[in-house]
Amino acid sequence: MTQKADLQSVLDRAAEGGRITPEEALDLYRSAPLHALGSAADAVRRRRYAGTEHIATYIIERNINYTNVCVTACKFCAFYAPPKDTAKGWTRDLDDILRRCAETVELGGTQIMFQGGHHPDYGVEYYEKHFAAIKKDFPQLVIHSLGASEVEHMARISGVSVEEAVQRIHAAGLDSFAGAGAELLPARPRKAIAPLKESGERWLEIMETAHGLGVESTSTMLMGTGETNAERIEHLRMIRDVQDRTGGFRAFIPYTYQPENNHLKGRTQATIFEYLRMIAIARLFFDNIAHIQGSWLTTGKEIGQLSLHYGADDLGSIMLEENVVSSAGAKHRSNRQEIIDLIRSADRVPAQRTTTYEHIVVHDDPANDPVDDRVVSHISSTAIEGGTAHPELKLLNAN
Ligand code: SF4
């Protein structure tokens, strides 16, 4: 364990951009004063974004859940239905998916997160067909979707290699992978919450393969399902090691476990302090990952706002539709003006961004704020039953 005076010197080194070891990161995570961590992380963020450090970004996207049928049965998941549960399971047809894409474009969304269960019949061909159809009708939409788990699953269903699966879905229209399925990468906590998922090493190996084939991704971490602090830092180390080789992770996005409607019992959720410490440690530890994203969906808007002072440079998305973490209890909802105001109240200038973090519009004058109040996040699990759309979107459908 690093002594108190040494902790400060490690923090100072990190704040100046020096690399810290996993052992140092663990000591800081456990023992550094919260505000000192935030201050060091903010110094790193300001240096990395010198010239635009006054800006914090957001994106408008839509999660499109194509099925909840899943053979993987993760214990933390409140979204899936096993294949034999035909009463609970559903799939969405292509016309419905394309209609949701049209609504996304209408509302100024730029990104689609195609997200669903590991359906026993969905191989590479399914994703090729759907991505090609989306790109044909909506070439302006970026398909930032799926993750290593889906790739492993679809390659197995189709009897092809992971390399071939990545190449084929990329050729069909997938632009980049979301960090889906990372959960916790170290073996013990991963087995405890997702025993049927591929190992953490395999998840990283598939992401490394994708990066090598020119398909970048983000990375995520699910906090608060019973993992230790050491396992959280080990998760970061595993990602940083791959990033040293590939440079393909654009962002790191920690988010907190939601406890409702699933099969994990007796878990203590991560506290907001643990979450803010993780945002700060991620900024200090990942000297090789550009963006650290604060999550307001699972932690609440105020904590999302605070994360901007603990090293985050981005507040993620206004999701025109989300049904996965909301099924497990995430209840926070927002619209574009609220996100703009939250960012302004954190003393930053809000900017809508693309998937690759270019600024689309910088909201530097409140008089010019967008007036379209239909851009509202919709995060109710009830939306999924029967494929009901967001009320504002229903209005669009009616027009
Ligand atoms: S988290 Fe994904 S893979 Fe796991 S059970 Fe839920 S839908 Fe299936």
Q: Is 122 in the pocket of ligand 1 (CB under 6 A)?
A: no
Print pLDDT tens along the chain (399 aa): 666 668 999 999 999 989 999 999 999 999 999 999 999 999 999 999 999 999 999 999 999 999 999 999 999 898 999 999 999 999 999 999 999 999 999 988 999 999 999 999 999 999 999 999 999 999 999 999 999 999 999 999 999 999 999 999 999 999 999 988 999 999 999 999 999 999 999 999 999 999 999 999 999 999 999 999 999 999 999 999 999 999 999 999 999 888 776 777 667 778 999 999 999 999 999 999 999 999 887 788 889 899 999 999 999 988 776 555 555 555 555 678 888 998 999 999 999 999 999 999 999 989 888 866 566 665 443 333 333 333 333 222 222
Per domain, the residue ranges of the chain are 4-393
Alpha-carbon dihedral of residues 360, 364, 370, 375, nearest 10 degrees? Answer: 60
Neighbours of 228 (CB within 10 A): 12
Distance 390 CA to ligand 1 centre (A): 23
Looking at the DSSP assignment, which residues form a beta bridge with residue 65? 115
Confidence at residue 396, expressed as pLDDT on a 0 to 100 scale = 28
Probe target for ligand 1 pocket from 79, 146, 190, with the most ligand atoms within 8 Å of CB: 79
Binding residues: 70, 74, 76-77, 183, 295, 317
What CATH code would you report for 4-393? 3.20.20.70
Atom of ligand 1 nearest to the CA of 149: 3
Q: Is 73 in the pocket of ligand 1 (CB under 6 A)?
A: yes
Instruction: Name the residue type at position 65.
Output: N
Distance 392 CA to ligand 1 centre (A): 28
Distance 189 CA to ligand 1 centre (A): 16
Q: Please state, in angstroms and rounded to a whole number, the distance separating the CA atoms of residues 64 and 142.
A: 13
Q: Please state, in angstroms and rounded to a whole number, the distance separating the CA atoms of residues 292 and 307.
A: 9
Q: Is 177 in the pocket of ligand 1 (CB under 6 A)?
A: no
Which run of H or E residues covers position 97? helix 94-106
Q: Is 192 in the pocket of ligand 1 (CB under 6 A)?
A: no
Give the residue among 241, 236, 251, 213 at the shortest CA–CA distance from 354.
Answer: 251
Extract the tokens encoding 267. Answer: 């878990």
Neighbours of 64 (CB within 10 A): 24
Q: Is 109 in the pocket of ligand 1 (CB under 6 A)?
A: no
Q: Please state, in angstroms and rounded to a whole number, the distance separating the CA atoms of residues 351 and 343.
A: 9
pTM score of the predicted model: 0.90
Confidence at residue 300, expressed as pLDDT on a 0 to 100 scale = 83
Q: Is 79 in the pocket of ligand 1 (CB under 6 A)?
A: yes
Per-residue exposure over 4-26, b if at least 16 CB sit within 10 Å of its own CB, e if not: eeebeebbeebbeeeebebebbb
